[in-house]
Structures are given as C-alpha cells and as structure tokens.
Structure 1
Amino acid sequence: MNAPSAPAVRVLSGVDVLAHADALRSVYVDAFCAPPWNEDENKAAEFAERLPHDARRPGYTAALAVTGRDVLGFASGWTTLPPFPTDRCYPQAAAGLGARRTEDWLCGAFEVDELVVRPGAHGSGLAGELLDAVTAGAPEGRSWLLTSVRAPRAMAFYHRQGWTQATRPSPDGKGIVVFLGPRHPARGREPLPL
C-alpha cells in the first residue's frame, strides 16, 4: 500500500489563480467558518467576490498546496502601494505604527493577505511552507501581515516562523497586530513591538 504523497506547493502569479477560485473558497470556508474566526458564509462569498480584483493587484502571488486534485491550503498577497490603504483593518495598522513607519515599512512591501489551511492539515508544517513560498519573492525581503488578537494560535504560529510582532494590540485587547517577515530590514531598527 502506498503512503499518501506530500502536497506539492505551486506558486501562481496574477489571474492564474482564478482557475482555482472554487477550491480556494472551499478552503476558506473550512478554515474560517470555525473557531476562533467563526465567520459565516457571507464572508466566504465576500472573499470569492474580492479574488478577481485582488488577483489583478501589482505583485499578486498565491501559493497553493495541492495533493492530487485537492487544494489543502493557500497563501496569497500583493505589494502594498502608497498611499497606504484606509479600508478594512489598515487604519488600525497605521495607528499602531505611526505614519512614517507605515510608509517606510509597509508601502512597497509584500503584504500577506490570506494564509489558510484545511483543519485536517493543521500541524503538518504546510502553513509554514505556504508562508515561505508566497513571501520568497518579497522585494528586498520586505513582507508583512495583519492578524487578529482573537487568534492566539495564529500569533504563536507567526512567532515560531520567525515573524516579528511590530505593534501591540489596542488597550482593550482587541483588534489587529502587524507582523514583519523574517527578512524585513526594519526588524532591527527599533525595539518591537511598538
């Protein structure tokens, strides 16, 4: 009897990812409709609606973990262009870093937007492989991401992967924090988290 093969990680650029849109939505549902995220189907629908726009962003890259015809997980992101965005959770990131650091550290860097692995693949090392693959081409090693403080396992995971927390959560312990990638040159400039 043959052992199951390890997933292959494929890196795609731009709209090439759209051929896998249904599979990515399925992975998103499996991962984010459960605790600690507890998102509903509407959030998965929003993700699917955003995907064609996101895939056209400058620097868009996706890494997919594929075994046979199944997608077990994915990571995706793009280059954050100036001016720094003001929608979604971006204002919290800018408030935590300040205007100068936001511009210097995040604009022009590769922003990891999604890192999603089906629950059955948790603990396999797959999320780390996907994160490494999607950030491998980050300009000058500059990569960053946001995560929620409601997800302590995610925060611990990023620390284990060598990412550095650059901001503190809000005083009420809610909201998001910014992480800088292992090769981001700003990591050694100032004591972190700010």
Structure 2
Amino acid sequence: MIELQPAAPETLLRHTGRLHRIYRECFAGPPWSEPETWLARYPQHVRRQLANPGAGGWLARDDGRIVGAVYGWSAPPALPRDTPFDKAVAEAAPATALPRMLAPALVVGELMVAESYRRRGIAARLLRAYVMAAPTAWLVTHRDGAAPHFYRRQGWREEAEFASEGVPMRLFTWAAAPRT
C-alpha cells in the first residue's frame, strides 16, 4: 500500500540519491529529454529549490521505499527574474494569473513518480496533499506529453504557453474551492 508522508527540506535532501533516480526516470525521456548535463545537476538544483523560504513537500512510499515525491516552496510577493527560467515565467504570466502565483501561493517545484508506479493515482494524491492547505498554487510543465492533460483533470487552469532555454512550457495555476 502506498503511504504519503509530509517531508521537510532536510528529509527530502537526505533522500537526494533516490529522488535523483526518479527524476532521471521522469525527465531523461520524451517529452523532456533533458540532456545529461541537466540531469547530473539535479542534486544542486534540488538544494537550491529547497533553500527557498517555506520549502517542503510530500513523499510516497511503498513498504518504506520512496516511489514518488512532490516539493516546492512559498511563493514570494513578486515573481523573481533571477534566472532565464524565472524571467520567462514572469514575462509569460498574464496579469489575471498573478493572484494565484504570488504569496501566499505555493510553487510546485517538482512532482515525480517512479516509472513502475505510474498510473496508480500516486501523482494526484501527492499533488493534492501538497497544495491542500494553500489558497493557491502554480507550476510549469512541458507543453507536450501527458502532464498538461493530467493537471487539467486535477482542476488546474492553463494560463500561458512559453519557452525557456528552447523547451516549450505551459504555466498552470490552481485555487482552492471557496470556503462556505
């Protein structure tokens, strides 16, 4: 049985090796087809992501073995423009999406499930667990492949299409149902 557990940044970092293997499974092939240099940088990339204020996530485990993860951080009050990716997101984001992308929103940095565990609802459970306490959230995924359809089925709203470093992307936002 797959169990989900919340994970602080230090817990996620302690499992960088396993997460790196899952990351490779998810992003080495189409549609991402990340080059080996990008895949090899995952440990540094995850450390940078988890250094953001409000970072954390959830792990999916099968009999103790990590089979999936979602993590991210608290959105800042303004969209950053520090990297080419940040700049591309900021330029692509329509003004109408900003209320769902800025504090107190969550940024979903990564959502990944080991290949042999896909199509079991694990990604949907991880995503719901991560955003359930937030009023809004946002993420970016590859334009092609199954991910955009998955996010739409989960109630996420497609806001924009853009490219970053030649990779075609889609920006999605989510908002919690209004409380009555």
TM-score by length of 2: 0.85
Given the alignment of the two structures, is residue 177 of structure 1 paired with residue 170 of structure 2, yes or no?
yes
CA pair 107-184 structure 1, distance change in 2 beyond 3 A: farther
The residue that corresponds to 1:52 in the other structure is 47
CA pair 119-95 structure 1, distance change in 2 beyond 3 A: same
TM-aligned CA deviation for residue 110 of structure 1: 0.2
The aligned amino acid for 1:175 is: P
CA distance in 2, matches of 1:117, 1:165: 22
Which structure has more strand as a fraction of its residues?
A: 2
Among 102, 123, 128, which residue is 2:124 paired with? 128
The residue that corresponds to 1:93 in the other structure is 89
Structure 2 regions of 5+ residues with no counterpart? none
Q: Greater CA radius of gyration, 1 or 2? A: 1
Among 154, 161, 173, which residue is 1:161 paired with? 154
Among 145, 153, 167, which residue is 2:139 paired with? 145
Give the number of equivalent residue pairs.
Answer: 173
The residue that corresponds to 2:70 in the other structure is 75
The percent of aligned pairs where both chains have the same amino acid is: 25
CA pair 80-184 structure 1, distance change in 2 beyond 3 A: farther
CA distance in 1, matches of 2:31, 2:38: 14
Write out per-residue CA displacement over residues 43-95 of structure 1, whole angstroms, 9 at most, x where no aligned residue. Answer: 22222112223222111121111112421111111112133122242323222
The residue that corresponds to 2:112 in the other structure is 116
- Runs of 4+ with >4 A deviation: 100-103
Write out per-residue CA displacement over residues 134-178 of structure 1, whole angstroms, 9 at most, x where no aligned residue. Answer: 11222xx211111121x23100000111111122457xxx72221
